[in-house]
Every structure is written in C-alpha cells, then in structure tokens.
Structure 1
Amino acid sequence: MAENFPLVRDVTILLDRYPHLNEHQTLQDAITEIHSFAVGEKERIRYSSLLIVNDSNQLVGKVTLNDLLHGLVPRLVEATKVEKFEGKGSEFSNLAILMEDSFFSNCKQQSQKKISEFMSKIPLMITADSPLLEALVMMLNTENTILPVVDEDKIIGVVCMEELFTAITSQCAL
C-alpha cells in the first residue's frame, strides 16, 4: 500500500466533536445533544445520529434522527405500519394532521424515556489505521453512513460518508 494514501485516522471525527450519550440518558438529552452540534445561520443539524456508550465508555449502539422521532411519536410509527389492504389509503400522510394535537401534547412525556429503548446495535467498527477504501466498502455494503473508529480497542470517534467522499474524490485523478 502506498504511503501517500490517507487512512481512516486522517478523516476521523473525534468523539468529543461528535454527538454521543450515556445509555441511561433520555430522548430529551439526545435532542439537546443533536442540537448542540448545529451549524450555520439557520442552525442546521450537522449529524443524523448519536453514538451511545455505557458507564465504562464502551460503545453499545447508535440512535438516528428517525429513532428519536419514533420515540417521540410511537402512535404515528405504529399507524404507518398498516398496509393498504388493512385500510390505509394512498393519502395516509395527509391524515397525520389528525394526530398533531396528541403528538405535541405527548411529546414532553415521551421525551423522558431512556435513549437505550430506541438505540440499535452497531454491526461494524473500523480501526484507525485502516485504508479509506476499506471503510468505504464497509459503508456501501451495509448502507451505513457512519462507522465508529477504534484505536487499541477504544472508540476514538467516527468516520462519516461525507468525509470519506471528500478524501477519496480528492485523491482521484479527475
């Protein structure tokens, strides 16, 4: 392998610069954490997931924006699972407006649930000294847009598809 090709370490977002929480924290904590990483004049959310760690600071899972919304609106999620032949018409999304009152009134209560109820396991991790193309292949094969990065069996951060894309395309002879 040529020395001038970047490694995962070169594009890793360190853990202190990426949203993460303890598994005992709440949906509200997760929402606050995601918003704390907003950027720009319009406070655009920069990351679409959070890493979840245990009391020993070991990685135990992740939570996406979809997971957070599902946690806040469980009734809406259940309703979207109804198949057309069970009564859901093609204009079902227009009916969501009927749930607005209950959604906004139950939001506060739902936000106190533990984040661990909504997290999913992370199937893969990559070492900091791995080649970027290895990370890219892992992401493409699993349809993940982030991979946790470990160094000496400790999580040090994540590599995101956006950083991989930038690093890889900058190496291409276009």
Structure 2
Amino acid sequence: MSTEKQTIRDIMIPLTGFPCLKESSTVQEAIQQLRSFCPVGSSGPCGFNELMVVNDRGGLIGRVTQQGILKVLFSTLLDPAGIKPFEGRTLEYSDLSTLLNGVLIKEGVNHLKAGLSSVIEKEIRVLPVSADLIQAMSIMVLGGETVLPVEEHGVLCGVVKLAEIFGAIGDTLLSINNKP
C-alpha cells in the first residue's frame, strides 16, 4: 500500500491496545499499569514506557512517562537543588547512592499515593486520525517523539508509534525500489 493513501488511522494502535488511566489515578496505579498492561491477544513481554491520561469523557489530559514518575519518586536525588555537590570519595563512602538507598526507597514509597497531576505532561502534540504518514513522521522526528496520541473529534482514539510509521514508509520505499 502506498504511503500517499495511508493515514494515521491505518496504522494507529487503538486505545484498547495502549495503557491509559483516568486523571484521578495515582502514581502507584500508573506504575502498575506500565508494568502489567498487555493488550488482549498479545503474547510475550508487553512493557510500556508511557501511558495516556484521559478525562471522564475520553478527552486527552496528557501522558505519563517512566521518566516523569521516577523524577517524582526520587525528586531529592534527581532534582538536588540546594544540595552541595559530593566532593570526594573515601573507602567507607565510595558510592553516595548506596548510602542513600534506604532513604530514597522510603521517599519513593511516600509518593506512591500521590495523584497523577504531579507527573502528567500536559503540553503534548496530538495527531488527527487523518494525518498522512509523511506529515506524522516529520512531526515525530523533528519533535523527538516516539509515541503520539491520536484524536478524532476531540476524543482520544489511539496512539501512533514512530516504529509503525517507519515500517509503513520503509515497506513502501522497498516495494518501489524492487519494481522492475
């Protein structure tokens, strides 16, 4: 099939095939969803590194990523504003993270019940289902995106992965090149 005729609708992953939570969910629920979500009919490991967040009407609120969750869970370590830099290593304290391990894990546990509002990326690009593959590819590559939400009439209906766009465009290029 030619990419000129294909749109995002043709290759997108429907919302049932991608992790999604309501905005009232917690950080703990997001971790569980990212670790365990596997679309019906899939086999093998299905780990995801982001999920979409929707309101009660199915409208997109934003996305939550593994990086965003880790930044909230371990904010003391990953956003050390006001903490003096570590100025040396000694035999007893060769690795500062080992020293802080127990403290950091306790800090992470304390944030599990937090609402998703602290980890939602709200200003994300959304593609319409009618976008053609070249347009979507350029938006994703220039924006450094690997997954983008897809909407139809203001309602989240799925996501598109850059890998799927790459596959469809690659198949078209190879088939054109292989024609006698």
Q: Between the two proteins, what is the percent identity of the paired residues?
A: 25
In the TM superposition, residue 89 of structure 1 has moved relative to its aligned partner by 6.0
In the TM superposition, residue 88 of structure 1 has moved relative to its aligned partner by 4.7
Query: Could you tell me which residue of structure 1 aligns to residue 172 of structure 2?
Result: 171
Number of residue equivalences: 167
In the TM superposition, residue 23 of structure 1 has moved relative to its aligned partner by 1.1
- The alignment's C-alpha RMSD in Å is 2.6
Q: Does 1:13 align with 2:13?
A: yes
Counterparts of 1:1-174 in structure 2, within 5 Å, are 5-37=5-37, 43=45, 45=47, 47-79=48-80, 87-88=85-86, 94-173=95-174
Which ranges of structure 2 fall in alignment gaps of 5 or more residues?
Answer: 90-94
Contact 2:3 2:172 in 1 (8 A): no
In the TM superposition, residue 124 of structure 1 has moved relative to its aligned partner by 1.6
In the TM superposition, residue 139 of structure 1 has moved relative to its aligned partner by 0.6
- Alpha-carbon displacement from aligned partner over 1:110-169 (angstroms, at most 9, x marks no partner): 111001111111432111121111111111121111111112222100001111111111
Which ranges of structure 1 fall in alignment gaps of 5 or more residues?
Answer: none
CA shift in 2, pair 1:88/1:143, >3 Å:
farther
In the TM superposition, residue 30 of structure 1 has moved relative to its aligned partner by 0.1
Q: Matches of 1:124 and 1:89 in 2, distance apart?
A: 41
Q: Matches of 1:110 and 1:33 in 2, distance apart?
A: 16
Letter in structure 1 aligned against 2:159: V
Q: Matches of 2:71 and 2:3 in 1, distance apart?
A: 45
Q: Matches of 2:3 and 2:76 in 1, distance apart?
A: 53
In the TM superposition, residue 24 of structure 1 has moved relative to its aligned partner by 1.2
> Which consecutive segments of 4 or more residues in structure 1 shift more than 4 A?
38-41, 88-91
Q: Matches of 2:106 and 2:98 in 1, distance apart?
A: 14
In the TM superposition, residue 31 of structure 1 has moved relative to its aligned partner by 0.6
